[in-house]
């Protein structure tokens, strides 16, 4: 095997291990279904048919993909900087409520594009505001952001529920919800499809994050912080400031994902509404190996799981929590795959260092 072929094989190993983790999760999930008296093959057939092969299912999958792309792109910024933002769900809900209230206040009084921009900006601000407290606690007092962002999810669920039952409630409706945005004032559809342009917003977010890490100095510094925080400090990088920025940007994107769901699908914010994109976004970003462009196909895959899973639960009498179980199995299998991958890399590196031909190639390369 030539040196170029060996390096090419190594570059494909992370992606292959992620795909193997997904396959093993489906196998273990199928065993679980069979053990509980369900037909695993029939359940998976319904999953694929209703989430991917039907026109309605494919449309719903692409709609669901939009907020996942936005939330995952923000989460990627945090994780690449070594910041664990577990508060995606809370930031999503606050951003969705902010955007719904802003849109309801502006609809009909300003042009729709102005309203959309204002609503998305309000969603971003809402997400940033909800991430600000954990960010300050992390920098000022050293409190672990995993705990603080996680606890803020529960606070967000109750605060938004209280607001939508009180100050933000539509007085004309008995149910706790904001004023509904009329269908004709929501995000328009992509020409030739039934998918709203929020999907394009999600793709733009992914592209911007890819540019950030591939072509900018701040992206490079965030990567350095995530890989070796102590080295970043010695290099003079403003670690504390950039960690705060990464968490706030992540929260802002989660808030924009909420605005996307409000103006693309829901048209309002309901009390106790929580689609739970946070855990899915974590599974998605890690299986994509923190690669911004790989998030796109993995976001489509997880959206398909969410949409097909709803039909599978109804038609195959599968527990409603099965998709969440499947996502958890994917992360467990992924952890095992990463461990085996590292062991294989270490063994390959030791073998290469003891290979006289490889050593002579390295010496020849240095002499050139």
Render pLDDT for 210-259 as a digit per residue (tens, 0 to 9): 999 999 999 999 999 999 998 999 988 999 999 999 999 999 999 999 99
d(CA 179, CA 115): 15
Token duo for residue 244: 């705060």
Within a domain: 263: yes
Does residue 215 lie within any of the structural domains?
yes
Q: Are residues 266 and 333 in the same domain?
A: no
**97 within some domain:** yes
pTM of structure:
0.88
Count other C-beta atoms under 10 Å from residue 360's C-beta.
Answer: 10
Is residue 272, in this structure, part of any structural domain at all? yes
Give the other-Cβ count within 10 Å of 185's Cβ. 17
Nearest to 12 by CA among 367, 359, 345: 345
**pLDDT of residue 11 exceeding 70:** no
328 and 298 belong to one structural domain: no
- Neighbouring CB atoms inside 10 A of 321's CB total 11
CA distances for 92 relative to 172, 269, 296, 351, angstroms: 26, 11, 20, 48
Clarify whether residues 132 and 183 are in a common domain: yes
What was the pLDDT predicted at 364? Answer: 45
Using CA atoms, how far apart are residues 29 and 169, in angstroms rounded to an integer?
42
pLDDT band, residue 352 (cuts 50/70/90):
low
The packing angle between helices 322-353 and 3-35, to 10°, is 150
Query: Is 217 in the same domain as 183?
Result: yes
Q: How far apart are CA 323 and CA 32, in angstroms?
A: 12
Q: Which residue has the higher pLDDT, 362 or 143?
A: 143
pLDDT-derived band at 357, boundaries 50, 70, 90: low
Domain that holds residue 341: 1-36+319-368
270 and 332 inside one domain: no
CA–CA separation, 263 and 272 (whole Å): 18
């Amino acid at each position: 095997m030539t040196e170029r072929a060996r390096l090419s094989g190594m570059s494909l190993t992370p992606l292959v291990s992620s795909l193997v983790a997904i396959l093993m999760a489906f196998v273990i999930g199928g065993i679980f279904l069979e053990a509980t008296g369900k037909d695993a093959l029939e359940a998976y057939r319904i999953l694929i048919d209703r989430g991917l092969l039907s026109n309605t299912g494919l449309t719903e999958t692409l709609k669901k993909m939009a907020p996942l792309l936005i939330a995952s792109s923000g989460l990627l910024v945090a994780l690449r900087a070594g910041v664990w933002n577990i508060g995606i769900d809370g930031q999503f809900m606050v951003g969705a409520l902010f955007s719904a209230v802003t849109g309801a206040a502006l609809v009909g009084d300003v042009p729709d594009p102005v309203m959309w921009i204002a609503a998305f900006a309000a969603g971003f601000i809402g997400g940033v505001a909800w991430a600000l407290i954990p960010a300050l606690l992390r920098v000022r007092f050293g409190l672990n952001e995993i705990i603080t962002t996680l606890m803020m999810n529960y606070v967000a669920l109750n605060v938004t529920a209280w607001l939508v039952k009180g100050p933000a409630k539509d007085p004309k409706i008995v149910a706790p919800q904001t004023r509904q945005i009329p269908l004709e004032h929501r995000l328009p559809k992509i020409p030739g499809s039934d998918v709203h342009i929020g999907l394009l917003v999600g793709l733009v977010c992914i592209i911007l994050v890819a540019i950030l890490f591939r072509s900018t100095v701040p992206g490079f510094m965030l990567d350095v912080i995530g890989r070796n925080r102590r080295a970043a400090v010695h290099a003079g990088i403003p670690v504390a400031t950039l960690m705060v920025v990464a968490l706030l940007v992540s929260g802002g994107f989660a808030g924009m994902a909420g605005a996307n769901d409000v103006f693309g699908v829901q048209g309002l914010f309901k009390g106790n509404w929580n689609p739970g994109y946070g855990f899915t976004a974590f599974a998605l970003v890690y299986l994509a190996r923190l690669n911004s462009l790989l998030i796109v196909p993995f976001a489509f895959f997880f959206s398909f799981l969410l949409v097909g899973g709803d039909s599978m639960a109804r038609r195959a009498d599968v527990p409603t929590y099965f998709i969440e179980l499947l996502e958890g199995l994917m992360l467990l299998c992924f952890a095992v795959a990463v461990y085996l991958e590292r062991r294989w890399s270490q063994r390959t590196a030791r073998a290469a260092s003891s290979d006289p031909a490889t050593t002579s190639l390295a010496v020849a390369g240095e002499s050139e």
